Structure 1
Amino acid sequence: MRLYKSVLLAVNPDHPQAKQQVVKAGVIASHHQADYFLGYVEPGVGEVSFLDIELQLEEAHNAQQQKRMKQLSGLAQHSPQPVRAIHLADGDIAAQITKLAHQVKAELVIIGRTRHEILWLNDLHHHLAQKLDCDLLVIR
């Protein structure tokens, strides 16, 4: 049974479990024959990343985006389901994930969590549960 046509995984490529999260979400996307998207939001305030606030250098921002894209592309190679597109954003994590979910018409958004992010995750989970027009799955 095909429940989802489009799956978005919001993943932090620096997280030690990022590869496993990409694989898990890829299995889910594959099972549903869904378009599979990866997204990463560089944490920040509003629409401006911390990197821009601290350094005020476009070159540093571009270098960081290239690094993230390379990391995410490498992670995508481990997915059992081909990744249709990789998206990068800066700013408020919950707002940007919501925006990206709408953009790719996600029917399932998957986010990862760890024990060290419990307070942050509760805020993110709550915001996404309130704002998303689709299902939300939290994985480890």
Structure 2
Amino acid sequence: MNFDIPADRRYQESHEWALETDGVVRVGITDFAQDELGDVVFVELPDEGTDLSQDKEFGVVESIKAVSDLYAPISGEVVAVNDALFDAPELVNDDPFGDGWMLEIEPADADELESLLSDDEYEDQIA
């Protein structure tokens, strides 16, 4: 099966993506991850103002098949949370790289993005 892996973002081995725009990093889970989980029924996310550390847990996504922890791709402060997911968690399945985004982080160290996988490296991992 072919999964969508946009080249404009970076990826974690734990299947989160990170997209830097104007100094803020938007985070979500990949097409592969949402497919593996199945129908997402609940998303638990941190509050705005929460400080995150790279590779540390920041939330939970729950599906009909599994409960999976979410890990921060970079360190920084949560500056936005996608509140739409609380009422419509299926957005994670419908549009994981668009409307299904989870949070936005003001990075403590933008260089951390360089430690993440490129689209090609991520594609190799899930192959």
Q: TM-score range by the shorter chain?
A: under 0.3
Q: Computing the radius of gyration over CA atoms, which structure comes out larger, 1 or 2?
A: 1
TM-score by length of 1: 0.25
Indicate the structure with greater strand content.
Answer: 2
